[in-house]
Structure 1
């Protein structure tokens, strides 16, 4: 019995030693997400609609970041995720079930204290670039509002490293995963 076990162990090690695997660098997933609020204001029946709040989408970013480009990419990702969940985008004049708003910031454009004062939400994470790397902490904030009222009924904040998020296809895929994670608690609607 011991001899058979030893032979199996040696054969297993030999097979492992012969296997070659190429490991591509994985995206940095060191980000934090904090969520508060609920969607009790949404109707449970019928088509679910949303609109963007007028003059929403704020970018408080460093001069090295193309804020408008980030805003467009993130808005498109939010629209895509809401559509995947069965929500229909309408104009604000069509009386949507909820209004959406969002903002982005880099640490040099808006620090954690300013983000908390503005959003009343915090992830509590620290982000530092590795030696030889550039980058800083980036934040994405998304809020859902009832059709009436100025205070968000649901909010989510994600924070993590920012460098190269939307220019590199792998990083763009990671950004899509982050947005999907952020919007995970938005209830799906029947299509």
Structure 2
């Protein structure tokens, strides 16, 4: 009987470890990215639309928020297209939807992110100068008929507010590629 209890504990721990993973992608103080994922990618489907309501951005500069939405959507669309997924209009019955959220630490704390997203990588700010601010990006995949995502990834890194538009787009492309790296090719 003791052996069965150990097997149950081991199996439970194994399931818990595979349900949520965290990794440091880069380790230099300013370019450091920490990421955590949760969910099951077996529900991924070949067509998607953008989620009808999950696309929030929380920054101090409200004027810039629309550009940030456009850049992130474009970066995700590029990665998904490279993997063979097709974006369709929400009214065309997509097989899945994609939502996202972005926030700066000055606008949303890790505790607030955890409460809303159920995940937080907990990127440390030690050793980073005051010119950079911690930013968080969430990408979530949904079955269009279910409110809760079946898979999500949350990354935290540091913003570089003085980047021009080309540098921002390249950074979004790189971030989307890293965040969606575990999404399989469309089959």
* TM-score category, normalised to shorter length: 0.7 to 0.9
Q: Is the 8 A contact 1:128 1:136 kept in 2?
A: no
Aligned to 2:174: 177
Shift of 1:128: 5.1
Cα distance in 2 between the residues matched to 1:40 and 1:156: 15
Cα distance in 1 between the residues matched to 2:52 and 2:145: 14
Residues 64, 42 of structure 1: alpha-carbon distance in 2 compared, 3 angstrom cutoff: closer
More divergent stretch after superposition (168-177 vs 70-79): 168-177
Question: Secondary structure at 1:179's aligned position in 2?
Answer: helix
Give the TM-score, by structure 1 length: 0.75
State yes or no: 1:141 paired with 2:138: yes
Aligned Cα root-mean-square deviation (Å): 2.3
Count of residue pairs the alignment pairs up = 160
Q: Which runs of 5+ in 2 are unaligned?
A: 1-27
Shift of 1:54: 1.1
Q: Which runs of 5+ in 1 are unaligned?
A: 1-25
Equivalent residue for 1:42, pick from 32, 41, 44: 44
Give the TM-score, by structure 2 length: 0.77
Radius of gyration: which is bigger? Answer: 1
Give 1 or 2: higher helix fraction.
Answer: 2
Residues 184, 117 of structure 1: alpha-carbon distance in 2 compared, 3 angstrom cutoff: same
Give 1 or 2: higher strand fraction.
Answer: 2
Q: Is the 8 A contact 1:104 1:138 kept in 2?
A: yes
Aligned to 1:95: 93
